[in-house]
C-alpha cells in the first residue's frame, strides 16, 4: 500500500472515504466543516440510525453528487474516551473486510475522529495499515472456477495535519506488521502436499536472501551425523526428508545476548501409530503454525532491523505411518544425549522441539521462546482464544507479556511444578517419557520441551487453540490467524530498546 497525506476534504479523489463516528461526533474538531461540505442530511441519518456510532458498526453510502470518491464508509467508534489501540485495530480490520467486498483499490481516512488523549495521528496511521491489512486478508485458493485475482488496496491517503514523515513511518510499520502476519497465515493455509519440509526451507531461503540473514538447512544426513534422534524418529515413517531450518539475524556487531525463536514445523500429523481419529485428521496441515509464526516474525524483524541478535530454528517434517515409522515403546536418543521413552507417537511435536531447542542453545541462544500447536489440552484448559504459556524465568516472561499486551494477543501462563517435572522424568528405561498422561496435558507437553532448555530463560507458547479460527473473527477470515507473529517481533524490539 502506498501512502499519501492531504489536508483538505476537497482533495479526496480515492475510491472510498472512511469516516470514524464516535458517540458524540460534534465534539470532533472539524466535524462541522465535514458535515457542511459533504451532506446536509448527515445528522438526520445518524438520528434515524442509518449511521450507528456503536463500536465497529459499518454503514456504506454511494458518493454524494459533486464529489470524486465512489463510496463513503462510516464506522462506529463508540465512546471517544474509551478508544484504545485494540479497539481501533479491530475497527480498521472491520473496515478492511468491507473494503474487500467493495473491491476498493484506494481509500482516504480522516484521522481526527479516531484520536484522543491516548491515541495520536501516528498511532492511527499504524493501526489503520495493520488493521486493514489483517482484516482484508484472503487466501488465494485453488478453485478452477474463480481465478480472478482479488482487488488489492494500492493507496491509502490520510486527511491529517500531522507531520508527513512521522505519519508515513508509522504507516509503513503497520503495513510490515500486517504483511508478516498474512504471510504466516498463508503458510498455514497451504495444503500439506504443497508445503513440505523442503518447501518450507525454500521459503526460508527466500527470506534469507531478501533480508541478508545467514541461513543453514540440515537434511537427514546431517541430522544423522549430529545425532538428532528425536527429529529423525518422527520422520521415520515419511518419504519426505526432514529439514532443520536455521536463520540468523545479526542486529549487533557481536553475536551475544541472542534471542532464540524455535518453531514446530510438522507439515502434517497423522498421529503415527497412535493414530488420530478421522475427525482429528482434518486441519493437521496447520500443525506447522509455530514455524509459520517464527518465519513471520523473522520477516518483520528483517524489515524493521532491531539492534538485537535473533536466531530462528525450525524443526520440520511430517508424522506419517509406514513399516519404518516409530512406535510406542521405542526409546530414542535426542541431540542433547537425553534418552526418551516414546509412549505416544502423536506427542511428536515436543520431540522435534527437543532437538531444535538443543541446537539453538549450541548455536548461542541466551533466551528461548518456542512456539507450537502442541496439545489439545491447551484448548480444554483455555479455549480457542487464548495462547497457553509456561516459563522458567519471571523477568523474561514479564518482558514477553508487555509485548503481548502491546499487540493485543491474549496469553495465559500455566504453572510448571516440580511434581510435573517428576512425571515427565518418570520412565523405567529412559531419562524422560514423552506422554505422562491426559491430565495436565498442556503442562506436560510444554514442560517436556523445558527439560531441554535447562536454566536458559525460556518461554513455551502453545498455540493449538489460537493458530486457526473456525469462523471469521475480529482480525480476519476463517482459517489461519498468524498468531504470535506480532508479539514475537515486538518482544525482540522491546529487548533491543532496553538492551536486555
List active site positions: 276, 350
> How far is C-alpha 152 from the geometric centre of its chain's CA atoms?
21
What does the alpha-carbon distance between residue 428 and residue 134 come to, in Å, rounded to a whole number? 50
Query: Which one, of 67, 151, 171, 159, lies nearest residue 104 by Cα?
Result: 151
* DSSP secondary structure letters along 335-352: TTS-EEE-S-TT--HHHH
Cell 516409530, located at residue = 326
What does the alpha-carbon distance between residue 24 and residue 76 come to, in Å, rounded to a whole number? 11
Q: What share of the chain is helix, strand, coil (3-state, %, to 5)?
A: 40, 20, 40
- In sign, the C-alpha dihedral spanning 125, 126, 127, 128 is positive
Query: Which one, of 357, 324, 344, lies nearest residue 427 by Cα?
Result: 344
Q: What is the chain's alpha carbon radius of gyration, rounded to the nearest angstrom? A: 24
Residue 433 parent element (H or E): strand 432-433
* DSSP secondary structure letters along 462-477: E-TTTSEESS-BTTB-
Q: Are 464 and 376 in contact (CB under 8 A)?
A: yes
What does the alpha-carbon distance between residue 74 and residue 347 come to, in Å, rounded to a whole number? 49
* DSSP secondary structure letters along 76-139: EEE-GGG--HHHHHHHHHHHHHHHHHHT-SEEEEE-GGG--SS--HHHHHHHHHHHHHHHT---
Q: How far apart are the first and last CA of the chain?
A: 34
Q: Is 358 helix (H, G, I), strand (E, B) or coil?
A: helix
Query: Which one, of 456, 436, 432, 433, lies nearest residue 444 by Cα?
Result: 436
Partners of 389 in the beta sheet? 413, 461
Amino acid at each position: 500500500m502506498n501512502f499519501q497525506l492531504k489536508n483538505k476534504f476537497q482533495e479526496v479523489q480515492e475510491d472510498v472515504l472512511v469516516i470514524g463516528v464516535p458517540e458524540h461526533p460534534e465534539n470532533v474538531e472539524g466535524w462541522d466543516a465535514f458535515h457542511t461540505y459533504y451532506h446536509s442530511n448527515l445528522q438526520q441519518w445518524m438520528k434515524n440510525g442509518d449511521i450507528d456510532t456503536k463500536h465497529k458498526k459499518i454503514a456504506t453510502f454511494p458518493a454524494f453528487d459533486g464529489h470524486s470518491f465512489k463510496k463513503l464508509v462510516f464506522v462506529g467508534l463508540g465512546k471517544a474516551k474509551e478508544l484504545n489501540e485494540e479497539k481501533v485495530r479491530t475497527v480498521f480490520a472491520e473496515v478492511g473486510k468491507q473494503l474487500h467486498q467493495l473491491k476498493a483499490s484506494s481509500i482516504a481516512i480522516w484521522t481526527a475522529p479516531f484520536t484522543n488523549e491516548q491515541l495520536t495521528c501516528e498511532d492511527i496511521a499504524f493501526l489503520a495499515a495493520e488493521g486493514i491489512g489483517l482484516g482484508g486478508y484472503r487466501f488465494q485458493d485453488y478453485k478452477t472456477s474463480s481465478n480472478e485475482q482479488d482487488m488489492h488496496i494500492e493507496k491509502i491517503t490520510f486527511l491529517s495535519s500531522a507531520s508527513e514523515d512521522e505519519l508515513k513511518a508509522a504507516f509503513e510499520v503497520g503495513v510490515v506488521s500486517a504483511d508478516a502476519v498474512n504471510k504466516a497465515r498463508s503458510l498455514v493455509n497451504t495444503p500439506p502436499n504443497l508445503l513440505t519440509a523442503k518447501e518450507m526451507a525454500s521459503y526460508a531461503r527466500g527470506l534469507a536472501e531478501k533480508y541478508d540473514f545467514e541461513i543453514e538447512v540440515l537434511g537427514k544426513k546431517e541430522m544423522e551425523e549430529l545425532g538428532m534422534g528425536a527429529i529423525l524418529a518422527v520422520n521415520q515413517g515419511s518419504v519426505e526428508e526432514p529439514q532443520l531450518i536455521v536463520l540468523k539475524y545479526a542486529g549487533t556487531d557481536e553475536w551475544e545476548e541472542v534471542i532464540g525463536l524455535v518453531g514446530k514445523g510438522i507439515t502434517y500429523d497423522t498421529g503415527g501409530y497412535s493414530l488420530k481419529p478421522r475427525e482429528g485428521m482434518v486441519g493437521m496441515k496447520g500443525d506447522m503454525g509455530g514455524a509459520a509464526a517464527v518465519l513471520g516474525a523473522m520477516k518483520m524483524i528483517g524489515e524493521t532491523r532491531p539492534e538485537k541478535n535473533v536466531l530462528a530454528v525450525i524443526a520440520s517434517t511430517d508424522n506419517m505411518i509406514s513399516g519404518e515409522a516409530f512406535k510406542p515403546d521405542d526409546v530414542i536418543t535426542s541431540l542433547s544425549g537425553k534418552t526418551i521413552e516414546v509412549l505416544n507417537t502423536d506427542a511428536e511435536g515436543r520431540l522435534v522441539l527437543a532437538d531444535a531447542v538443543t541446537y539453538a542453545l549450541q548455536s548461542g541462544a541466551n533466551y528461548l521462546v518456542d512456539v507450537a500447536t502442541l496439545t489439545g489440552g491447551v484448548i480444554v484448559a483455555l479455549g480457542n482464544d487464548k495462547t497457553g504459556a509456561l516459563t522458567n524465568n519471571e523477568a523474561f516472561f514479564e518482558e514477553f507479556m508487555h509485548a503481548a499486551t502491546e499487540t493485543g494477543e491474549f496469553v495465559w501462563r500455566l504453572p510448571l511444578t516440580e511434581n510435573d517435572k517428576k512425571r515427565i522424568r518418570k520412565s523405567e528405561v529412559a531419562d524422560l517419557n514423552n506422554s505422562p498422561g491426559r491430565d495436565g496435558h498442556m503442562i506436560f507437553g510444554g514442560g517436556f520441551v523445558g527439560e531441554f532448555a535447562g536454566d536458559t530463560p525460556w518461554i513455551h507458547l502453545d498455540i493449538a487453540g489460537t493458530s486457526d479460527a473456525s469462523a471469521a473473527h475480529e482480525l480476519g477470515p476463517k482459517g489461519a490467524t498468524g498468531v504470535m507473529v506480532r508479539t514475537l517481533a515486538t518482544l525482540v524490539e522491546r529487548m533491543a530498546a532496553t538492551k536486555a
